[in-house]
Structure 1
């Protein structure tokens, strides 16, 4: 999957990360400031069996995510590992949602994605959704 992402993503989107601390660097010519939100959704239920099927995920994207981000998104299959409230470490198939939102602050990106995480937790009885937010510069190449 990493190889495929390395081949496809640069052709679709160019992204330069901001420096940690201090002001972000000026965006390269042809790009604009953007917030990047990455959300990781576990797919297993409490007993360790697959709870969120591919059709379930597709319906969730269509009903909860696409209306909030109609300009586009990227969804990856992943394998996650985390420690639950019970202290046990679990590995599970996951979905990674990658959202690049031009002209948006990190706070705005968080405000727009927290309802997605809440909807997923309610709909599929999940304990948590991991969210990572960072700033960068983005451009859709070829338009």
Structure 2
């Protein structure tokens, strides 16, 4: 939880809380692009298999973002609390929230990240949120 709190505070302190761009080009509307990076290993062992991810997506992610989302397969690398570099398969969740700001995106992603960490014993989930212009 400490890492998530620090990440959310950093997002807000960096000026993301100001919200979407003041103006977007014709035909585009302001919003936020939010991303969450979910590692699938713990202590070098894959703990989130395809069935586990699919259940998490159905039970947690989809209800949190019923209007739509994108999930991509990724390969991640990071330095954990032990100081060792870990490489692992990951999932990247991308959501676009029309009319939202970074604080609202963080509020919506926080419980998803928290549930993932608890369910799969993960140390952290990286969250990003940035103002954008969009059109569907």
Other-structure match for 1:10: none
- What is the count of residue pairs matched by the alignment? 120
Measure the CA separation in 2 of the matches of 1:132 and 1:42.
15
> How far is the alpha carbon of 1:25 from its aligned partner?
5.1
Other-structure match for 1:39: 36
Residues 1-143 of structure 1: pairs in structure 2 closer than 5 A: 24=21, 26-46=23-43, 48-140=44-136
- Rg (Cα) greater in structure: 1
Task: Give the TM-score normalised by the residue count of structure 2.
Answer: 0.83
Measure the CA separation in 1 of the matches of 2:21 and 2:108.
22
Other-structure match for 1:13: none
Residues 72 and 91, structure 2, Cα contact 8 Å, conserved in 1: yes
Measure the CA separation in 2 of the matches of 1:126 and 1:106.
24
Task: Give the TM-score normalised by the residue count of structure 1.
Answer: 0.79
Structure 1 unaligned spans of 5+: 1-19
Q: Secondary structure at the match of 1:78?
A: strand
Consecutive aligned runs of 4 or more in structure 1 exceeding 4 Å deviation: 20-23
> How far is the alpha carbon of 1:24 from its aligned partner?
2.7
